[in-house]
Amino acid sequence: MTMPASCPAFRRAVLALALVVVGVPALAQETGPSPLRSGESANQFAANQAVGEAVLIPNRVIYPGETIELAALKQVTLVPGKHTPDGMATRSEELQGKVAKRTLVPGRYIPAAAIRDAWLVEQGASVQVYFTAGALTISAAGVTLQPGAAGDLIKIRNVDSGKIISGTVMADGTIRVGAS
């Protein structure tokens, strides 16, 4: 006996088969109308539906080096009982303004390891380097040898001496060095 394509069990079986063949995307709850079970009112059906977790996933390909904007993401509600795997970024606070380290595919979770903060200083940029010990502050001009975000440890070349030193990128774009 053949089943009609509109049968919910048939659609679920086809979806499960597609997931096994293609991979494991973020499982979203269907948003279309769902059929009522025999003798069930619309209010009873709505009460029985558990609300799934809402997550953000890409709605288009996001390429490495591209800044992630909310327009490139869509919000989906996970199937009830399905939870986001550990290590995935799914909230706007985790994603807005970050930069993709690798290609992010539509309909898939975004691993936290696949995004980074935007660079605060670029490679080759002129920066102020500060050393502070108590009341003593020494500043020098430097050139970054690698890019960095706030809090990153990067290498800098002192413009006057030519020596290469390491320092921490501060939120204002300056570099703080310590005694070695």
The region of weakest confidence among 127-136, 149-158, 171-180 is 171-180
Percent of the residues in the chain that have a pLDDT greater than 90, as a whole number? 49
The region of weakest confidence among 2-11, 88-97, 114-123, 128-137 is 2-11
Up-side HSE of residue 109: CA atoms within 13 Å toward CB? 22
Question: If we measure between CA atoms, which residue out of 37, 98, 31 comes closest to residue 64?
Answer: 98
The pLDDT, as a whole number, for residue 41 is: 45
Report yes or no: 177 and 131 within 8 Å, Cβ to Cβ. yes
Name residues whose C-beta falls within 8 Å of residue 14's C-beta, 6 or more positions apart in sequence: none
Question: If we measure between CA atoms, which residue out of 59, 57, 70 comes closest to residue 98?
Answer: 70
pLDDT tens digits along 20-34: 444 445 555 434 334
Burial (Cβ within 10 Å: 0-12, 13-18, ≥19) of residue 109: buried
The pLDDT, as a whole number, for residue 18 is: 52
Q: Which helix (H) or strand (E) holds 14?
A: helix 8-22
Give Cα 27 distance to the centre of its chain: 17
Stretch 134-155: mean pLDDT, rounded?
A: 94
104: which DSSP letter? B
50: which DSSP letter? P
The region of weakest confidence among 29-38, 110-119, 149-158, 169-178 is 29-38
The pLDDT, as a whole number, for residue 17 is: 54
Helices (H), 27-99: 42-48, 92-95
